[in-house]
Amino acid sequence: SEVGVSSLEGSSKLTTKEMSATGSLKGAIYHAFFQAMGYPQVALWVLLVLLTYAAYLFCDLWLTQWLVETAATPLILASNGELLPPPATSLLSPPLPPSSPPPSPPPPSPGSQRQQRLNLPSYAYPLIYAAGGLSHTMLIIVAGLYFVIISVKASKTLHLDTITRVVYAPLHWYDATPSGRIISRFTSDMQAIDQRLTQDVDNMLQMLVVAVLQIFFVGAIAPPLLGVACIAIFFFGYVTYVGDNSIREVRRLTNNAVSPIMTTLSEVKNGAAIIRAMDLGSFFAARQSANVQQWIRLAYCTRALQSWTAHGCSFLAFIFGTATSFVLLGVRGVYPEQQAALALTYSLVVPYFIVVISELFVTMRTGFASLERLLEYTTIVQEAPHVLPADPPPTSWPVRGAITFEHVSLRYRPGLPLALIDFSAEIAAHEKVGIVGRTGAGKSTLILALFRLVEVAGGTITIDGQQLGLLGLKTLRRAMTIIPQDPVLHEGTVSHNLDPFETVSAQTLRDVLRRARLPEAMLDLEVSKGGTNLSSGERQLLCFARALLERSQILILDEATSNLDGASDEAIQMLLRQEFVDFTVMTIAHRLHTVIDYDKLLVMGGGKLLEHGTPYGLLTATDGVLAAMAKALGESGEMDLLKRSSASATERTATMEHSPLDYVSAVDSTTQCADGYELHT
């Protein structure tokens, strides 16, 4: 099932409980990791590792051959450069003359084996040994660098796939998923994959190849030791299996324990002012302390289990090494001394490698548990397609900006009540429409439906006759510009904030700033994060400058002036009337003074359209909702609204009388583009 979908169906809970996988890791986890690297690249890396340690084993074997040749021909270099046999080892034995042949080696004992001589020149042995050592060094460097390259590629691929799924997740998934869960995936889990997991996989393969080669060599020299090795490997595997099962489950709980820590940090950072004002510092400190203590308990338990596994494997390694040593010493006369010595060395080294392999296996599986958590987000349900073949080109749609809502209903996710109920309205091209209502009336929900941030549960929305549900999301959202209550500004210059992709000239940007009532000289001004070095009015005016630059036919203001004082609000409304004449403007407002001079008002309540019409007509209606809201402002406030709406109505009537044909033509063409729906003006 897709993450964040099945758990939300039919649920009215605000957030969902974080799920934790149980049981052994699925093969799909390993497949995803190695697929991100690329299977051909992984095969090449394995081949390089095999060649690396084949060269390592060759060096050891060649060293034993060199020792055989040296023992068979014990010559020394004389002062004149001639190779001579060494002097006699006994004081009673006279030295051999230079012309005498070297002494013959003693005859082999019954049942013993002798290593064959190659009779190469004496200088060949060190040269071949040096070449083998150099080959091993070069191969291990090449294999290491190559693995770094493919592991970085895998990390980038996994990160890109996951972040893409998260970015294109629907809004209800974000509503049900605390930010700490998302942050923990891209911090602690991603760090474990980038650093520990890749290192453990690399070390695991190298140690495994070394151990296998050494075990086979020891078994080839002394076949009885293969039985000892099989018994030891069985017990190693059993201890590792038991430890891994326990560690894996505890590690999953440890990973999940990071999410509450990150969530609390995010809440404290975003709400620091409110926390201080309400003196809730001790509450959040206690909650974070409990979160950290829970994580520490689980992390300590994980480390303790890892230590238990390591100690158990170390004990088995000691038994294996001791048994191997006694076997080789007991049959020392049967096998070549040089190879037996090398086998004895390996028998003492192999247990160390097996212990390391056991520890690496456990930590590697722990890393794959982090990968498992990350891959959960690759199955998140996605928004609708962003681009569709039938999408109209941006230059041909929308041309005018007429919007029609027909019986639109919307709920935020399955199991929740409708937030928008049977909403129907029509907005003519270039019309200025205000949307008012009390908190929770459904004003912002209407904007979510328009941008398809939440898909409608019923009904249709059209712009210039084009049904929005049949468009790609990118095509739809680029057709509109929204200015939110909190301006979105990034660190960088004003120029970068207006045109981050540098698609227009500097002179065009200066013209836009001037039209937005901002000084042209601020184009190169550095903007701090969130625009904190600018006033509230300047931040909003920059957003209006963006809207002028985009030239979308539809402009939506979502409480864009609610944080401004009355004078700044009035200045922005003047900007709208002068610079956005050819735009269809939808403004969500709490203050009636902001939209009282608009062409039309939509009054909402409980997710329904309660009434709509001209501001003056609604204010003078008997028992009207807007009239009741105006009365709540007091007599002076109500009279001011009536005065301004009346003046606006008079000005609008004069405009219609001055050019009635243009107005009728606009209405008729809008009606034709809207599939025959009549406009109510």
Structural domains in the chain?
24-71+122-221 (1.20.1560.10), 403-613 (3.40.50.300)
pLDDT tens, 343-398?
777 777 777 787 788 778 878 887 888 898 899 898 888 999 999 998 998 888 99
How much of the chain exceeds pLDDT 70, in percent?
A: 83
Q: Report angle CA 270, 274, 277 to the nearest 5 degrees.
A: 150
- Confidence at residue 6, expressed as pLDDT on a 0 to 100 scale: 40
Query: What is the edge-to-edge ordering of all strands in the sheet holding 458-463?
Result: 420-427, 403-410, 458-463, 466-467
Question: Which candidate, 364, 377, 360, places its Cα nearest to that of 34?
Answer: 364
116-130, 185-199, 538-552, 576-590, range with the lowest pLDDT? 116-130
pLDDT at residue number 280: 87
**pLDDT band, very low/low/confident/very high, at 27 (cuts 50, 70, 90):** confident
- Closest CA relative to residue 610, chosen from 629, 597, 592: 629
Instruction: Please tell me which of 249-258, 469-478, 513-522 the model is most confident about, judged by mean pLDDT.
Output: 469-478
659: which 2 tokens? 């050019």
Q: What is the 3-state secondary structure (H, E, C) of 371-409?
A: HHHHHHHHHCCCCCCCCCCCCCCCCCCCCCCCEEEEEEE
> Burial of 96 by CB count in 10 Å (0-12 exposed, 13-18 middle, 19+ buried)?
middle
Q: Which residue has the higher pLDDT, 334 or 294?
A: 294
pLDDT at residue 667, as a whole number: 39
**13 — pLDDT class (breaks 50, 70, 90):** low
Is the pLDDT at 489 greater than 60? The verdict is: yes
**Closest to 190 measured CA to CA, from 168, 166, 172:** 166
Residue 332: predicted pLDDT: 65
What is the residue-wise DSSP string for 416-439? SPPSEEEEEEEE-TT-EEEEEEST
Helix (H, G, I), strand (E, B) or coil at 220: helix
The Cα 15–Cα 253 span in angstroms is 19
What six digits make up the tokens of 253?
């709980």
Q: Which two tokens stand for residue 79?
A: 């002062």
Q: What is the pTM of this model?
A: 0.70
- pLDDT tens sequence across 585-633: 999 988 888 888 899 999 999 899 999 999 999 998 888 899 998 888 8
Q: By C-alpha distance, which of 56, 24, 30 is closest to 207?
A: 56
Can you give the pLDDT at residue 669?
A: 37
Radius of gyration of the chain (CA): 40
Give the tokens for residue 322.
Answer: 């001791």
Query: From CA 157, how far away is CA 368, in angstroms rounded?
Result: 16
CA atoms within 13 A on the CB side of 291: 18
User: Tens digits of per-residue pLDDT, 119-144?
Assistant: 677 778 889 889 988 999 999 999 99
pLDDT at 76 over 80: no
Q: What is the pLDDT of residue 164?
A: 93
- 271's tokens: 């709400």
Give dist(CA 146, CA 133) in Å, integer: 20
Cα torsion angle, 651, 656, 662, 668, sign: positive
The partner residues of 40 in beta bridges, in order of sequence, read none
Per-residue pLDDT band at 673 (split at 50, 70, 90): very low
**DSSP one-letter code for 610:** E
* Beta-bridge mates of residue 586: 433, 556
Give the number of residues written for the chain: 681
Nearest to 214 by CA among 66, 58, 343: 343
Distance CA 155, CA 169 (A): 21
Average pLDDT in the 658-663 region? 46
- Give the model's pLDDT for residue 17: 63
Of these ranges, 169-178, 268-277, 611-620, the one predicted with the greatest mean pLDDT is 611-620
Mean pLDDT, rounded, for 60-89? 62
